[in-house]
Amino acid sequence: MSTEASSSRSVSRSASPAASIASVQSNAEAGPSKTFAELGVIPELCSACESMGFKKPSAIQIESIPSALEGRDIIGLAQTGSGKTAAFSLPILQTLWEKPQPFYALILAPTRELAYQISQQVSSLGAGLGVRTAVIVGGMDMMSQSIALSKRPHILVATPGRLMDHLENTKGFSLKALKYLVLDEADRLLDMDFGPIIDKILKVVPKERNTYLFSATMTTKVAKLQRASLNKPVRVEVSSKYSTVETLLQHYLLLPLKHKDAHLIYLLNELASSSMIIFTRTVNDAQRLSIIARRLGFPAIPLHGQMSQSLRLASLNKFKSGGRSILIATDVASRGLDIPLVDLVINYDMPTNSKDYVHRVGRTARAGRAGKSITLVTQYDVEILQRIEAHIGKKMVAFQVDKEAVALLGETVARASREAALEMRESGTGGQGGKRGRDQGFKGKRARDMGDDGDRDDDVVQAGLPRKKNKFKAGGGKK
């Protein structure tokens, strides 16, 4: 890192006895914009950034890449959609180019979809360098993954549960030569009870390594992990406030609970030209609403943690490619996923946590683009709306609808809802939310045989589905 870059930063030393932290508070608006080359990135990777449409570094990249290239550990705190993946990928790829070796870096992610997304971006950035990556997540065949590991990839992207399975059971697989460990969305990793598994992983990787900890918030769990696994890190914080971006137009729609479905279909009809994600609180509603929408002629597809991994990836890929313009999902899709052209986010259910709201609406208005969100608010949700508005520091604007048009949709939507419930009962996919739907529908024997329980997804808990306490321990692994 250049002297000029060093002098332009406001650096203060922490009094923490466990780790000395250089704290960097970014002011992204101040000073001239930089290029990747000015940050010290080699020409091959600069070309890769350009080919991927990264015209200039984001704030988190400007503040973290020079320190990372110096060999410092990084604590990166930034809001969703800030470019964290490239911030940790570029330094790893650059040092790997200088001294290639297998199992060079391990990137841990909280969900399978995020792991695949990170792998795709790392592969794209490193394509010109010949970088080999492998994705190790639950829900996929263990033997195929063992074969991928035997090919000794340079970079592993994994969820903790399945990675631990391979460390314990796959012969010849070891991380003893690891040079980089990245924990992406660390706050969520720890919120999902992966803590004990991460502790085990930390014991089998070398202490002499670089560690990057990227998180949206600095929780007490993240702070504890930082003290245990980082050596004199640089703390980079590019957003002191956990908030939504300025290019996002945020609306609310006040409605009676009994007319919720009719209002949603009205919005789908009025905003049919938009690519949109609809968030629900439960798996049952995600599946039910996708059936209702399809029966009424809207190109909708579901995504939730009770689907097999292959179906989840297929849904995500159809939506990303434009094959479907409406994705109806639980919070399994709310964080980390970068789907470039999402015009609209609809909150069918109010998220009870303000941070979950920020993550949901963060699926649109990414990388400086404009976007819109509409949150459906029933008579029981007004207090939650006020709490979210206080958290983000702004008032949402009321979204106007044609009440007569909504009323005319009522009977049609009710009939489609009855047909959807019948279809779900007949297919065993939880039309009543009962045991048959949960266990025999999306998480049947085939999924379990493939290790689908090796990782736990957010909506298993957040969507109100009870944990199987007698069969599974926290973190999702079998006892």
pLDDT of residue 80: 63
Q: How far is CA 127 from CA 12, 54, 89, 93, 145, in A?
A: 38, 15, 13, 10, 21
Q: What gap in Å lies between CA 243 and CA 93, rounded to an integer?
A: 31
pLDDT of residue 187: 84
pLDDT of residue 397: 96
Cβ atoms of 339 and 363 closer than 8 Å: yes
Averaged over 169-173, what is the pLDDT? 94
- pLDDT cut 90: percent of the chain above it: 57
Averaged over 326-349, what is the pLDDT? 85
pTM: 0.69
- 212 phi, psi to nearest 5 deg: -115, 125
pLDDT of residue 219: 78
- 11-13 vs 22-25, strand pairing mode: antiparallel
Least confident residue range of 4-8, 137-141, 291-295: 4-8
15-29, 45-59, 71-85, 254-268, range with greatest mean pLDDT = 254-268
pLDDT of residue 365: 76
- Strands laid side by side in the 155-158 sheet: 11-13, 22-25, 234-237, 74-77, 210-215, 180-183, 105-108, 155-158, 133-136
Averaged over 392-414, what is the pLDDT? 95
The answer, yes or no, to whether residue 85 has pLDDT greater than 70, is yes
For residues 67-104, b (16+ Cβ closer than 10 Å) or e, as one string? bbbeebbbbbbbbbbbbbbbbbbbbbbbbbbeeeeebb
Mean of per-residue pLDDT scores for the chain: 82
pLDDT of residue 336: 60
pLDDT of residue 456: 44
- Higher per-residue confidence, 400 vs 333: 400
Cβ atoms of 112 and 455 closer than 8 Å: yes
pLDDT (tens digit, 9 = 90+) per residue, 111-162?
898 999 999 999 999 999 999 999 999 989 999 999 999 999 999 999 999 9
Least confident residue range of 49-63, 223-237, 343-357, 433-447: 433-447
The answer, yes or no, to whether residue 441 has pLDDT greater than 60, is no
- 111 phi, psi to nearest 5 deg: -130, 160
Least confident residue range of 89-93, 255-259, 302-306, 452-456: 452-456
pLDDT of residue 340: 67
Confidence of residue 83 (pLDDT cuts 50, 70, 90): confident
pLDDT (tens digit, 9 = 90+) per residue, 338-383?
676 899 999 999 998 888 898 888 888 766 678 899 999 999 999 9
SS (H, E, C) the chain: CCHHHHHCCCEEECCCCCCCCEEEECCCCCCCCCCCHHHCCCHHHHHHHHHCCCCCCCHHHHHHHHHHHCCCCEEEECCCCCCHHHHHHHHHHHHHHHCCCCCCEEEECCCHHHHHHHHHHHHHHCHHHCCCEEEECCCCCHHHHHHHHHCCCCEEEECHHHHHHHHHHCCCCCCCCCCEEEECCHHHHHHCCCHHHHHHHHHHCCCCCEEEEEECCCCHHHHHHHHHHCCCCEEEECCCCCCCCCCEEEEEEECCHHHHHHHHHHHHHHCCCCCEEEECCCHHHHHHHHHHHHHCCCCEEEECCCCCHHHHHHHHHHHHHCCCCEEEECHHHCCCCCCCCCCEEEECCCCCCHHHHHHHHCCCCCCCCCEEEEEEECCCCHHHHHHHHHHHCCCCEECCCCHHHHHHHHHHHHHHHHHHHHHHHHHCCCCCCCHHHHHHHHCCHHHHHCCHHHCCCHHHHHCCCCCCCCCECCCCCEC
The answer, yes or no, to whether residue 479 has pLDDT greater than 60, is no
pLDDT of residue 86: 94
pLDDT of residue 81: 66
The answer, yes or no, to whether residue 477 has pLDDT greater than 80, is no
Which domains, and CATH codes, for the chain? 3-237 (3.40.50.300), 248-427 (3.40.50.300)
Amino acid (one-letter) located at 200: K
The answer, yes or no, to whether residue 447 has pLDDT greater than 50, is no
The answer, yes or no, to whether residue 451 has pLDDT greater than 90, is no
Averaged over 261-282, what is the pLDDT? 95
Q: How far apart are the first and last CA of the chain?
A: 48
